[in-house]
């Protein structure tokens, strides 16, 4: 064996290296598929949470509108100016 590895040994080493490259590629592809699946799942959860928030906000706004309609009256008023720009409620007590 003074001349280095034989052709058969070189071929066997080449085949082993090729098998390792193929195994590494298969692992990378599997990892990429898992990342894509995880990303899709995450986006779906985000969408579901956003939809739930929208529904909660809609419900809160509609219940608020119902409460203000039942109460009657004028609602919040300024103490300093009225609608026409004249003196408001606080000016009555000066």
Inform me whether the pLDDT recorded for 66 exceeds 70.
Answer: no
Using only C-alpha atoms, what is the Rg of the chain? 37
Domain boundaries, the chain: 7-72
Q: 3 in the Ramachandran plot: left (φ > 0), alpha (ψ -120 to 50) or beta?
A: alpha
Q: Give the C-alpha separation, 71 to 79, whole Å.
A: 20
Which residue from 17, 49, 3 is spatially nearest to 41, judged by alpha carbons?
49
Lowest mean pLDDT among 5-9, 26-30, 88-92: 88-92
Q: What is the pLDDT of residue 26?
A: 96
Q: Residues 52-64: what's their mean pLDDT? A: 85
Q: Given CA atoms 14, 16, 19, 24 in this order, what sign does their dihedral have?
A: negative
**Whether the Cβ atoms of residue 25 and residue 17 lie closer than 8 Å to each other:** no
At residue 37, the pLDDT reads: 97
Is residue 79 within 8 A of residue 89, CB to CB? The reply is yes
For the cut 80, the answer to whether the pLDDT of residue 33 exceeds it is yes
pLDDT > 90: percent of the chain: 47
Query: For the residues 33-58, what does the mean pLDDT come to?
Result: 94
């Amino acid at each position: 064996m003074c001349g280095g590895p034989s052709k058969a040994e070189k071929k066997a080493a080449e085949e082993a290296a090729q098998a390792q490259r193929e195994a590494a590629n298969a692992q990378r592809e599997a990892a990429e598929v898992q990342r894509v699946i995880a990303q899709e799942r995450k986006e779906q959860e985000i969408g579901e949470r956003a939809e739930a928030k929208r529904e909660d906000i809609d419900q809160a706004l509609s219940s608020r509108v119902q409460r203000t309609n039942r109460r009657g009256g004028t609602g919040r008023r300024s103490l300093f100016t009225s609608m026409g720009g004249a003196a408001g409620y606080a000016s009555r007590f000066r």
